[in-house]
Structure 1
Amino acid sequence: MKHKLGMRTIKTAVGATLAMLISESLGLNYALSAGIITVLSVQNTKRKSLETGLARLNSTLLALGISCLMFTLFGFNSVAFGIYLLIFIPLAVKFKLSDGIAVSSVLVTHVLGEGTISLAILWNEVMLMVVGAGIAILFNLYMPNMIAQIKKDQDEIEEHFRTVLFCLANTTRSQAVAIDEEELFESLERHLDEARTRAERNRQNYFLEEMTYYVQYMEMRAMQYQVLTSMRQTLGKVMMTVEQSNLLADLTEHIANSLHEFNTADELIQETQTVLICCRNQELPKSREEFENRAMLFQYLNDVMHLLEIKRQFIQNLTPKQIELFNPQALEKATN
């Protein structure tokens, strides 16, 4: 079986080698440790790599400070190292430096092995961390651009939403469930999960707040998906007149045809309210069964309203910078 080398694997191998070579050229002892630190510090995203590197540097400073005190008080022995761990680990957890516990403790064993404390020894350990984590951060400045794939995800998800909505419209009009309805919903859910993961990884590669846009978009669609499942369940419980089924089917089809990333949904919300008023003005139910069906009918329309409100809230929550960065022409057209 052939295995393709991933970008992270290549960066880890090259970075670890470079970290050891730099450490050796600087005359640092235990240069191999710098390579190990790089291996442990290469992450999937720029932000995670920077956060991990800074956390491990702070963790190293804390570990060296505590260990120096323990070795001075109790000597350079296993008991002193154990006492150091008893103090260091809880503090590292408290200050959210857990990622650096193992690496920092390895550096402390270097001091333990030296059997003495000096500025040169402490500087050696700090520089090992700086070189190892620094190389990892430097290599992680390059990340494959995922914007094109995320935009493709958006297009495919919107098309999938249209298909599902048309399917619900057909179910409403015919009062019969489509054979492939289950697969449509499952496929959409899988695609949403993959796209949300990709959008979050992309956000972690930027330090600008505006780049949360794609995460917000995927979360919006995920919330709408939950509403679609509720609409689907409601359709399975309600029996409608021909007039009612045509009203709901037409509305659902209009929503499907109007589906767009920057559609504010204002017009669709007004249309839904009109349908609600129309249903309220219909003849009152004469039996318990008719009453229950009417309740299910309003439940479906309320779900439609919720579906559209989620989209309108998404548009309203966009910052001016996000509007400027992400297709402002489409937004302007949608709001006119």
Structure 2
Amino acid sequence: MPIWQRTIKLALAFSLAIYFANQLGLSYASSAGIIALLNVMDTRRSSLKIANQRLLAVVLAFLIASILFAIFGYHLWVLGLYLISYVPLAHRWHLATGIAPSTVLVSHLYGETSIAWEWLTNELSLFLLGTGFALLVNAYMPSYQGQLDDYHQRVEESLRAILGRFSVFLDSGDGRNQAQMIDDLDRLLAQAQEVAILEERNQLFQQAHHYQLHYFSMRESQAQLLRQMAGQVNRCYQASQESRVLAQLFRQTAQELSQTNPAQGLLTEIEQRRDFFRQRALPQTRQEFETRALLFQLLNDLERFIQLKVNFYQHYQEEEGI
């Protein structure tokens, strides 16, 4: 969330919570604004999750505080005893995020020396107002779809460039490279996944944006295979008919690489090239043998590279209509 947008949301939630708390005649109205500030999160889902946890934390705090105040009275040491009792339970039940706002509300009861229903209602109303306006301002979240579409394009362009570079190396029999393009792709995928996570966490009632996370995860797996293949290409020092055939297959894969391509036809092409390799005459020298083995391994890794996309496409073709 951009800082300017977060600032506006915090100001709105804070002001509205205090205004309506005053309009309702609630005591300690400013506390509603503080609670609103604490509940404005970066995504809709995190805001709703925190709000639920803090509501349970408030109920638990009121229960413990009411019992202790009723038994021992309104003394400072009783407030300490409340914290000794409340904090471990809040952590045990994963409600620690509500310790601070709950204790502020309990301190109001201590200050008023009362656990009468009207005071409990006052404090609960403060919490509900603050939380409610925090959720209200967080109902609007910017869409990251435009950024995700851009990342799709940039990732695919990077993959095409790497596959194209491999084809050049295989054509020439010179595989010297430092895998810099793969390092850049890794960084790009990490950025894309961060944005995809933000977009997914802004969806409360649909899981469609799991697609984005899975898509970039699939591309990440492909990038790992490319790094492995880069090491193999580095060891190909001799151009041959087999390497040129494989280079053509890398070029074809680069040309057909896209989000919407099912890639099934490329698997057929690979099987045909595998038959070609098997029908070739046996290598005559040790270097030819090692090069042939590397090329065959590259062919297998390229098949795995394409199979990742095929599996992804088959999984989502009905759900996403891609």
Give the TM-score normalised by the residue count of structure 1: 0.88
1:192 aligns to what?
A: 189
Deviation at 1:167, TM superposition (A): 1.3
2:133: which partner in 1?
135
In the other structure, the counterpart of 2:271 is: 273
Tell me whether 53-62 or 79-88 shows the greater mean CA deviation: 79-88
- 1:139-178 to 2 correspondence within 5 Å? 139-177=137-175
Q: Is 2:69 aligned against 1:71? A: yes
Distance 1:120 1:154 in 2: 56
Paired residues, number? 320
The residue identity in structure 2 corresponding to 1:104 is S
1:252 and 2:247 equivalent? no
Q: TM-score when scaled to structure 2?
A: 0.91
Structure 1 window deviating more from structure 2 (283-292 vs 140-149): it is 283-292
CA 271–83 in structure 1, closer or farther in 2 if over 3 Å, else same? farther
Aligned position for 1:309: 307
Alignment CA distance shift 1:299-1:106 (3 Å): farther
- Distance verdict in 2 for CA 1:304–1:26, change over 3 Å: same
One-letter identity of the residue aligned with 1:184? M
Q: 2 CA distance for matches of 1:247 and 1:202?
A: 42
Mapping for residues 220-299 of structure 1, pairs under 5 Å: 220-285=218-283, 289-299=287-297
> Does the CA-based 8 Å contact 1:56-1:129 persist in structure 2?
no
Q: Does 1:219 align with 2:235?
A: no
Q: Which runs of 5+ in 1 are unaligned?
A: 324-330, 332-336
Give the SS at the match of 2:209: helix
Deviations 1:55-100 (A, max 9, x none): 2112111111122122223332343333333332333233332321
Query: What one-letter code is carried by the residue in structure 1 that aligns with 2:247?
Result: A
Quote how far apart the aligned CAs of 1:311 are: 0.7
- Match for residue 17 of structure 1? 15
For residues 316 and 71 of structure 1, what CA distance do their matches in structure 2 show?
Answer: 62
Cα distance between partner residues in 2 of 1:280 and 1:91:
68
What does the per-residue CA deviation read over 1:132-169, in whole Å, with 9 as the maximum and x for residues that have no partner?
11111100111112212211221222112111111121
Question: For 2:28, which of 22, 27, 30 is the aligned residue?
Answer: 30
Q: What is the root-mean-square deviation in Å for CA atoms of aligned residues?
A: 2.2
Matched with 2:84 is 86
Task: Give the Cα–Cα distance (whole angstroms) in 1 for the partners of residues 269 and 95 of structure 2.
Answer: 54
**Aligned 1:43-58 pairs, distance under 5 A:** 43-58=41-56
- Secondary structure of 1:297 counterpart: helix
Aligned partners of 2:79 and 2:261: how far apart in 1? 62
Q: For structure 1, which segment, 243-252 or 85-94, has the greater mean C-alpha deviation from structure 2 after superposition?
A: 85-94
Deviation at 1:321, TM superposition (A): 3.7
Structure 1 residue 258, shift from structure 2 partner: 0.3
Q: Deviations over 1:83-120 (max 9, x none)?
A: 33333233323333232122222222222222221111
In 2, Cα distance between equivalents of 1:287 and 1:106: 81
Aligned partners of 1:167 and 1:178 also within 8 Å: no
5-14 or 314-323, which deviates more: 314-323
Give, in whole Å, the separation in 1 of the partners of 2:292 and 2:72.
Answer: 80
* Local SS of the residue matching 1:200: helix
State the 1:241 CA deviation.
4.2
How many angstroms does 1:204 deviate by? Answer: 1.2
Shift of 1:292: 4.0
Contact persistence 1:199–1:215 (CA under 8 A): yes
Q: Deviation of residue 35 (structure 1)? A: 1.1
Q: Judge conservation of contact 1:55–1:99 (CA < 8 Å) in 2.
A: yes
Give, in angstroms, the shift of residue 274 of structure 1. 2.0
CA contact under 8 A between 2:53 and 2:95: conserved in structure 1? Answer: yes
User: Taking structure 1 as reference, are residues 289 and 105 closer, same or farther at Cα in structure 2, changes over 3 Å only?
Assistant: farther
Distance 1:87 1:273, change over 3 A: farther
Residue 28 of structure 1 aligns with an amino acid whose one-letter code is: L
Shift of 1:256: 0.4
Task: Provide the secondary structure at the position in 2 that maps to 1:253.
Answer: helix
User: Per-residue deviation at 1:285?
Assistant: 4.7
Q: Which amino acid aligns with 1:228?
A: L
What is aligned with 1:122? 120
Measured against aligned partners, the alpha-carbon deviations of 1:225-263 in whole angstroms (never above 9, x if no partner) come to 111111112211234441121022111111100011121
Give the unaligned 5+ runs of structure 2.
Answer: none
AA partner of residue 268 (structure 1): L
Q: Which moved more, 1:82-91 or 1:285-294?
A: 285-294
Indicate how the Cα distance of structure 1 residues 242 and 68 shifts in structure 2: closer, same or farther if over 3 A, else same.
Answer: same
**Alpha-carbon distance in 2 for matches of 1:92, 1:319:** 45
In 2: Cα distance, 1:172 partner to 1:101 partner: 63
Question: What is the Cα deviation at residue 184 of structure 1?
Answer: 2.1
